[in-house]
Chain A
C-alpha cells in the first residue's frame, strides 16, 4: 500500500509507476535504484566471498556453481567468438548472468500485494542500460576486429538490404532489453493480479507463481548472457570466423 501511495495513489495493479526522486531536473526512479543497488551489493558480496575462498583444492558448492557457469560461458564464447578475439566477453557475460539472476530473484519475497523489493529488471532503465552498454561494446568489437569490413555486412547479401540491416542492428538492443523487462514485469503484474484475490486463497497461486517466476528469472538471465555472446560472435566472426574453421 505504501508503494501505491508513493506512486501517486494509482492503487491496484500498477505498471511502471515508481516513487521518484527529482534531482537537478532529472527524474530518477527511487525503487529501481535502491533494488539495483541491493542486487549489486549481493552480487559483489557473493563474488568477493567466492574470490576470497577460491581454492584449487576442494571447492565449495558456490565455487562449483560459479565454475560451471564460467565454463559454460567460456565454451559459448569460444564457439561463437573465439576467446582470444574478445577475452573480455567472458567476464562480461558472467557478470551479466549473475547480476540479472540476482536482480530477477530479488523479488522472491512477496508482500500481500507487492514485492518487498521490486525487481529492478522490471524497469526499462536497467535493461536499456545493460543492453546499450553491451551493444556499444559489440559494435566496437566488430569494428576493432574487422575494421572497415565490419560495415560490409550491412549491404549483404544485397545493397537494397541496407536499411533492413541497419534496423536489425538497432533493434538488437531494444529486443534484448525489452525481452528481459517484459518477462520480469509480467511476473510482478501477475503477483499484483493474484493479490486481488482474498488473502485466504491467494497464497497458493502466489507461491506457485513465485516458483515459476524463479525459473523465468534464471531463464531470462541465461538468455540475456547467451544473446550477448552471440551478438559478439556475429560482430567479430564474419568472414574471419568462417575462414578460421
Chain B
C-alpha cells in the first residue's frame, strides 16, 4: 500500500509531461470512437423506436383522460346548476300557485261568510217582522176584547156607582179606584212588552193610568202597527 502511494505521487507529477506513461495522448480519439458511436447509436435507436413512443402515447392518453374528466365534471356542474335553476323556478311557481289558491280560498270563504251573514240578516228580519205581526195581531185582539168588555164594565161601574150611595165621596172614590185596580189586574198577566204596547194601544181610547207612556215602546208600537196592518 505504501509503495503504491509513493508511486502515485510520482506519477502525479508525470501527468504534466507530454505523452507520459506509454503514448498517453488521451485527447486524441482512437478506433474506440467507432465502437462507441455504434453503441451510442444502438442505445439512442432503441430509445427512439421502442421507449419514447409508448410512454408518450400513455402520457397523451392520460392527458386525454384527464381532459375528458374535467370536461365531464364541468358538464355535470352545468347540469347541476340547470337542475337547481329548474328546481327553484318550479318552487317559485308552486309558491305562486299556492298563494293563488290561498287567495281564491280566502275569497270563497269571504263570499260564503257574506252569504251566510246576509241569510242570517234576512232570517232575523223575517223573525222580527213576524214577531211584530204577532204583536199587532195580539194587540188588535186585546183591543177588540177590551172594546167588547169596556161597555159592559162601564155599565157595571156606573150601576155600582149609582147603586151605592152617591153622597159618599170617599166611597165613590174608592169604587173608582177599585175599578181601576180591576182593570189593572186584567192587564197584569200579560208580558211587559205586550203590556207596553197594549197600554199604548189602549191609551188613545182610555186614559193612561200612569200618565207618561214609555217613549221607545210607544214609538215602536205606533210604527209597527200601521206597518202590520198594511201587511195584512
Contact = CB atoms under 8 A, between A and B. Distances in A.
A32 B36 contact: yes
Interface string A157-180: 000000000000000000000100
Contact of B40 (A12, A91, A113, A126): A126
B71 to A, nearest CB: 17
A92 B5 CA distance: 43
Nearest to A64: B59
Interface string A119-131: 0100111101110
A61 interface: no
B43 A95 contact: yes
Contact of B4 (A1, A7, A92): A1
Given A59-B62, A88-B48, A13 B8 contact: yes
- Which of B8, B25, B47 is most buried by chain A, counting CB atoms within 10 A of its CB? B47
A51 B50 contact: yes
B52 A94 contact: yes
B9 interface: yes
B33 A125 contact: yes
Interface in A97-142: 98-99, 113, 120, 123-126, 128-130, 132-133
B39 interface: yes
Contacts of B110: none
Nearest to A73: B52
Contacts of B50: 47-48, 51
A14 B65 CA distance: 56
B22 to A, nearest CB: 4
Contact of B58 (A44, A55, A94, A199): A55
A54 B55 contact: yes
A118 B31 CA distance: 18
Interface string B48-70: 10111111111101100100000
Contacts of B37: 129-130, 132-133
Nearest to A71: B59
Contact of A44 (B4, B8, B43): B43
Contacts of B24: 15-17
Interface stretch (B10-18, B143-151, B152-160, B214-222): B10-18
A235 to B, nearest CB: 19
A124 B48 contact: no
B21 A63 contact: no
A55 B55 CA distance: 8
Interface string A26-66: 11110011001101100110011011001111010001001
Nearest to B38: A129
B11 A66 contact: no
Contacts of A12: 4-5, 7-12
15 contacts: A10-B14, A10-B22, A17-B22, A27-B32, A36-B35, A47-B47, A47-B51, A48-B46, A50-B55, A57-B62, A67-B55, A70-B59, A90-B52, A91-B44, A95-B43
Given A12-B5, A71-B59, A126-B40, 10 more contacts: A17-B24, A36-B36, A44-B42, A47-B47, A90-B52, A99-B47, A125-B30, A126-B32, A132-B37, A195-B8
Interface of A: 1, 7-8, 10-18, 23, 26-29, 32-33, 36-37, 39-40, 43-44, 47-48, 50-51, 54-57, 59, 63, 66-67, 70-71, 88, 90-92, 94-96, 98-99, 113, 120, 123-126, 128-130, 132-133, 178, 192-193, 195-196, 198-199
Interface of B: 1, 4-5, 7-12, 14-15, 21-22, 24-37, 39-44, 46-48, 50-59, 61-62, 65
